[in-house]
Amino acid sequence: MKKREKLALIRKHYPNALTTIDTVNKIIDFVEEKLDLEPAQVMFADSICSDDVNSIQYPARALEFLGPFKMGGLDGFPFTGLTGMGAFASHVPDDGAVYIYYGPHIGISKDGTIGEIHRLGQNKNSGCCGAAKGALGKLQNNAIEPGNITELDYQMNTIEQILYKQKDRILNAEIPLHEATEVIYEAIDSRILELVTATKYNCNYVILVGAVLINSDSEVGSFSSAKRFDVINLKTGSKENLLHILNS
């Protein structure tokens, strides 16, 4: 399958999607050309789902950054919280930058089925994101109890509560899993902004890239549909919106 065919498949649902490899390359170019930093001066953290497919489809070039610090749990919600944020922010090179890539993920299989991928060595497709699909199934069956968060399944219950708060919006959508993924993105984005504001840094920049991460079958790879690309200059306090760089 050629790259343009893969992009056409993914862009039916996510019109601005790029391959995750191209996304990483654009960010590294930006860091070197506009911030005048080397990737080794950047502490990278990601808040993406713990699903093994995200480790398998992780672009090799992202390892030029320091890190990654893993902030995410099920479907990418930043479960490491304020403590996780404070920890990696204190590991950054002095004149460097913090770079956070965050968002939920969703599968689109080679045959175009949303919410599924074909994983290496398996006969059948499986769910992706399994947690989002599980929570959506419970929402559709009226099985989510408001406020119910247990110790045994804390992360899953948190995802369920996020969906429960937008029940009508999700259930009335044309593709409920696509809408549920948007809802989870919004929850992650607002939590990340809260964590970023509440954290102290000894570096020059905070780079934020919020996206829906799209996984496909093993031979198709992964894609990124960016929703936010902000650079905060910690010396001046200014914030620049650079989303256009990840939309081309």
Residue (46 or 75) nearer to Zn ion, CB: 75
Closest approach, Cβ 51 to Zn ion, in A, equals: 4
Residue (17 or 49) nearer to Zn ion, CB: 49
Return d(Cα 210, Cα 206) in angstroms, integer. 13
Q: Using alpha carbons only, give the angle 77, 232, 215 rounded to the nearest 5 degrees.
A: 35
Q: Which residues bind Zn ion (CB under 5 A)?
A: 49, 51, 75, 129
Q: Say which residues have a Cβ less than 8 Å from residue 140's Cβ, sequence separation at least 6.
A: 171, 176
Closest approach, Cβ 207 to Zn ion, in A, equals: 24
Return d(Cα 182, Cα 244) in angstroms, integer. 20
Residue (67 or 76) nearer to Zn ion, CB: 76
Residue (25 or 155) nearer to Zn ion, CB: 155
Closest approach, Cβ 193 to Zn ion, in A, equals: 22
Closest approach, Cβ 106 to Zn ion, in A, equals: 9
Closest approach, Cβ 167 to Zn ion, in A, equals: 21
Residue (91 or 178) nearer to Zn ion, CB: 178
Closest approach, Cβ 54 to Zn ion, in A, equals: 8
Q: Using DSSP, state whether 40 is helix, strand or coil.
A: helix
Residue (105 or 228) nearer to Zn ion, CB: 105
CB 76 within 8 A of CB 104: yes
| Cis ω for the linkage preceding 93 (within 30 of 0) | no
Residue (75 or 160) nearer to Zn ion, CB: 75
Q: Outline where the chain has alpha helix (H).
A: 3-11, 20-33, 52-56, 81-89, 130-140, 154-164, 167-171, 176-197
CA nearest neighbour of 132 among 114, 106, 169, 171: 106
Torsion of CA 93, 99, 104, 106, to 10 degrees: -110
Closest approach, Cβ 35 to Zn ion, in A, equals: 31
> Parallel, antiparallel, or unpaired: how do β-strands 42-47 and 66-70 relate?
parallel
Q: What does residue 231 show for φ and ψ, rounded to 5 degrees?
A: -120, 120
